[in-house]
Amino acid sequence: MRKLLLLLLAFMASIFFLLLLFNTLSWRSMQVYPPAPQKAAFSIKKAAKRLSLAIKRPSPKQQQLDSLSWEDFLRRYYPSLLKHPNTELIVLGENLTILHWKGRDLRLLPFLAVSYIQFKEPDLDHLPAWTHGPYSGEQQDAFIWGLGSQRGMANAIAYLEVFQQKLAKNSWPERSLYLLMGPKDRASAQRAARYFKRKGLRFELALGPESDIYTENDLGISAPIAALAIGEAQTLETKVWQADESQLKAALHYLEGQTYDWSQEQAAYQAIYPYLGPELPFAKRFLWANRFYLGDWSSSSLGQGPILSAWKNEVAIKEEEAGYLRLQQPLAPHYQAADFSELGQYADSVEQRSWGDSTLSLTQGFAYELLQTHVRQIFPKTLVLPKVLPQTSCYRASLQPFCEQYYHFSPWRFDAAERLRLSKQEDERLGLDNFMRGLQFYEQLLESLLF
């Protein structure tokens, strides 16, 4: 009887194992496989020239005689966009503009594209590190050099080039487009939000920058990953004043030691399961495909990776000077000021504010699938996975009330060396082939979304 029972248990275990094995081998990715894109109808030479001119446009702090505002730049180098009867340029403030392309069907909610056209001033002590000056806009060795070339300015110029190319063909979209271009600061974002509220606008889809394609990852897969950002961690800004240096360092140590339970983290991890499939190593694939039977591994070391890390309590900015400490760090949406009551013992004065509760955009449905399709179309061997940004951007926090489906993605592919340039804002450059793929991405996206 005992032997029969053992045989029965062994049989049941083998059936269970075969079920797990079947689930593992049959688990398929939800990555789409679109056809190859059509050949781009662009002159990369002309587009790169205008990006160079945009980079050369001096910042207001330089006070140069030939300094152009962004509005002046648009009027000088994209006159056809501003003179067309179906377009209008809306100026909301210094270097804050909206280019509106009116669609034929007003029943369709418009598309909102966000780009940043102003950037942080370069550190004068590090200017020797630049191969070409930050405002040179030089083209050399198949790269465009200068501040804003890797993000922000390049996104704005790519949109404008697609915009201009479509108008040149007398195209008239079904859906309206609003291209918002402005400095990356809270005041500009709030000014834009007030305009949209005053006009009663709602958007079908919004796409901002600040996320791109990683060629390296810690998920154990060799394919590049396009990080399509679906949300942002709430940000806390803490300012501490303390005359005693040791107490100031104690305050910093206390802040860095805090931990938070971010409720959105698990939702973000769950979202990537359907998009990985057979790309994972067998061990991870076995665990993830059978999580219903074996438990959810998403919060363990087997499930986590930088591409979707919650960046819990990672200090984004740290300043120590003359008894002053300023930090920005991600927070849980349920943050309470009382959580930091102990901080008072380390400081003469503490000032705190938090902003940017960011709901997660959907990872299935029209908007996500549209973006995924066109990323995969231009970068066919790239996996598109949802990501949560480690810090709120002022634009998403202000504009998400007008658009539930707000995503972040820039069609630039950077290896580790280029990403280091980007993080340090030193010696920035964008390859011409990279720029060309970005133009193709925006061309295909706007074609399917607007027409």
**Rounded to whole angstroms, how far apart are CA atoms 276 and 385?**
8
Q: Distance (Å, rounded) from C-alpha 397 to C-alpha 425?
A: 24
Check residue 298 and give its pLDDT.
Answer: 53
Task: Give whichever of 69-73, 116-120, 241-245, 326-330 has the largest mean pLDDT.
Answer: 69-73
Mean per-residue pLDDT, 13-30? 89
User: From the centroid of its chain, how far is CA 377?
Assistant: 19
- What's the half-sphere exposure (Cβ side, CA atoms, 13 Å) at 119? 29
- Over the chain, what is the mean pLDDT? 81
Contact 269, 284 (CB under 8 A): no
Euclidean distance between CA atoms 176 and 112, whole angstroms: 9
**What pLDDT score was predicted for residue 154?**
93
Confidence class of residue 302 from pLDDT cuts 50, 70 and 90? very low
Of 228, 176, 219, nearest to 451 by C-alpha is 176
pLDDT-derived band of residue 260, with 50, 70 and 90 as boundaries?
A: low
DSSP string, 389-423: ESS--HHHHHHGGG-S-EEE----EE-HHHHHHHH
pLDDT digits (tens, 9 = 90+) for 99-141: 999 999 989 999 999 999 865 565 555 556 778 878 888 898 8
Pick left, alpha or beta for residue 95 (phi over 0 → left; psi -120 to 50 → alpha; otherwise beta): left
CATH topology of domain 44-230+357-450: Aminopeptidase (3.40.630)
**CB within 8 Å of 224: residues ≥ 6 apart:** 213, 214, 215, 379, 381, 382, 383, 413
Virtual torsion, Cα 386, 275, 412, 427, nearest 10 deg: 60
Sole residue written with tokens 């991600």: 330
pLDDT in tens, 350-370: 777 766 556 788 888 899 999
Torsion angle (degrees, nearest 10) of CA 377, 383, 389, 395: 10
β-pairing, 429-431 vs 143-145, is: antiparallel
pTM of the model: 0.83
Q: Residue 225, SS3? A: strand
Provide the residue ranges of all domains of the chain, joining segments of one domain with +.
44-230+357-450, 243-354
Token readout for 235 is 């940000």
Q: 140, 185, 207: which is closest to 371 by C-alpha?
A: 207
Mean pLDDT computed over 1-21: 85
Token pair recorded at residue 33: 């496989």
360: exposed, middle or buried (Cβ count in 10 Å: 0-12, 13-18, 19+): middle
382 falls in which pLDDT band (50, 70, 90)?
very high
3-state DSSP assignment of residue 351: strand
Whether 211 and 229 have beta carbons less than 8 Å apart is answered as yes
